[in-house]
Structure 1
Amino acid sequence: MVRLTRVEQQARTRAAVLAAAREEFAEHGFGPARVDRIAERAELTRGAVYSNFPSKRALYLAVLIDLAGKGSGEPLATVSPTSRLDALGVFARVWLERLPLVGDSAPGGRLQLRSLDGVFDDGHGPAVLAQVARLEALLLAIALERGAPVRRVRLAELVLTMLDGAGHRAETSPGFGDPFDVAHACRHLAGIDLEDTWAPPHLPYVSPARTCADAWEAPAGLVDVISGEPVGFSDGLVVVLGAGRLGAAEEAVRSAKPGEQVVVAVVTDDREEIGRLVRLRVTDVVACLRRVFAAEPWRHVRLVLDDDAAVASAIGLADVGDETESAVSVRAGVIVARAHGRGAGHAAGARMREAMP
């Protein structure tokens, strides 16, 4: 008889809980699902379920993350740089693959859609979702811009809004509408002139970054969510953003000198629920992007889901929360500028540009 190590046993228990929870949520939906039934399906105790997942919401999010991550290992595709219309059409078709079929049960369809309806009606979940949506739009926009000095964030927001609307319609009225029509419409949105500009009104009033010469030890073992590769903390901008401040990622990306690396590390003080919420949405959109676009557009942007606040600790932050916003500029292994508070990424990036030839 083979004896399992403690780690192996924990992994087996966790896998059994996830499998049972997926069946329960697919059969009953989030609200009516019961942890007691999940434990019974997994042939475990209720306590064993809660020892792995502190709440039903955390467990539901873990199931959705597992579903969303199925396509995250797909190889990066290649789309012609001159075909933004085709790229949006393909992206929409990939996104719409999650739509349930007419014969699917309502709870199973909502699970396939990664529906969060009724999951975050309390707390500040909706506010975090709004911030995550801004990050999703930025990631899609970077691919659409391909380094050109034309902002495509409003276009990306419009496309994602249409796709989210199609998902909501499929959830409430299964079988209504044609997903190919939606993809075709998304493709042609690229031809709309939205007169998109980058001019946030608060940036001129952001406090300048403080110059310094602080040695630091770059954290190891972190993975870029976009490329799936280890993050190398070379010269560039390192920004730590709480889950409630993710929209500020664009400030860091726009402020950095062309070609300079920008590392965006996402933190929260509620990793079980808010942390999983961010991971779900980011994993989901990145899985779609990886199947459509080559890696080139994001080669200077690294996104880290910093569950253990390793990046935050490395730059000297003792406490982190959903409103955290802090940034440093790094040159030759030395922190040369620091900024904290609203506009930190912009301030540190501006100071980095001033210091470089």
Structure 2
Amino acid sequence: MSATSLIPRPLAELPWRVILLVTFIAVFGLAVLYSAAGGSLEPWAMKQGVRFFVLLAGALVLSRVPMRLIERTALPFYLALVALLVIVELIGAMRGGSQRWISLGVITLQPSELMKVAIVLILARFYTLLPAGQVRAIGAIWPALALIGLPAALVLIQPDLGTTLTIVFGGLVVMFLAGLPLRLFIGAGLAAIPVALFAWFVTMEEYQRKRVMTFLDPESDPLGTGYHISQSKIAIGSGGIDGKGFLQGSQSHLDYLPEGHTDFVFATMAEEWGLIGGFIVIALFALLLRWATLVSLNASTRFGKLAGGGLTMVIFFYIALNLMMVMGLAPVVGIPLPFLSYGGSSMMTIMICIGLLMGINRTARTGVQRGLS
């Protein structure tokens, strides 16, 4: 009798490679949060650990939901979140000058985070239902732009520039994967210039404009708007090749590095683990993205391919924008680093993406598409 025969089939069929991969990243993140708190599980590491394992279990449950059901519920899911975004504008809770949350008593929900997933699913559903011959027609463009533009506008006025960019990016990726010609995206980029100018002068808050200007010249105000980026660069650079050592980071422990447990957690890690630690983290994320890309490419349905590609790029956008932000290569827009940054909303979004990708992978492997007929 083989060892594998002793393991229940549902347990043996779990995607253990990706489970172990994300668990390793998350556990390493817990070590960073433990160090950022001065060698204590409170107030971040313990809560983050509980969140991760609860959300990992939720992702595994989500992966068992039939893809046909996910596809059919994409529109109700999207519409419900649009309604919640409107409610946020009316009675949403304020934090740090932004109105992004709905208090539900036990939990606080941030609908804009879930919209990053919903926009991918609804556009994948839209282009799946669209006949192949009509993908390049005007009727395949304006409905998709409307589906993207409505939630993006609602999120932008919260204001939340980072989430707005993620929603737009995820939607455009699905449109590109659906087969729309490249020239349309170039034209859209040119058309976005007046929209960006409108956002700059009308909808963006003063602190957001300062963030963009600081990105261009952080040293112009090192003790003011450029403080975050300057201290992040100092923390990363001072780590050298092998870092200062676990629990030995001075920038975070002496509170020089703002948000060292959330948006700038990579700088906290790099100071103690150095270039080697940074390379390991990036390599692990690369493995995760490689898995997600292969899932999308090998999907057995058009919806799976489009949704898988969009979800992969949402994860990529989180990783890339955060790393660029902490290194001074992009403005500070409040995008957390998956599995390392402290916070429940962003981790929930990432785990939903991973759960859906595992479901797409399971459907392709089994060759069975169960669900609603």
Normalising by structure 1, we get a TM-score of: 0.28
Structure (1/2) with the larger strand percentage:
1
Structure (1/2) with the larger helix percentage:
2
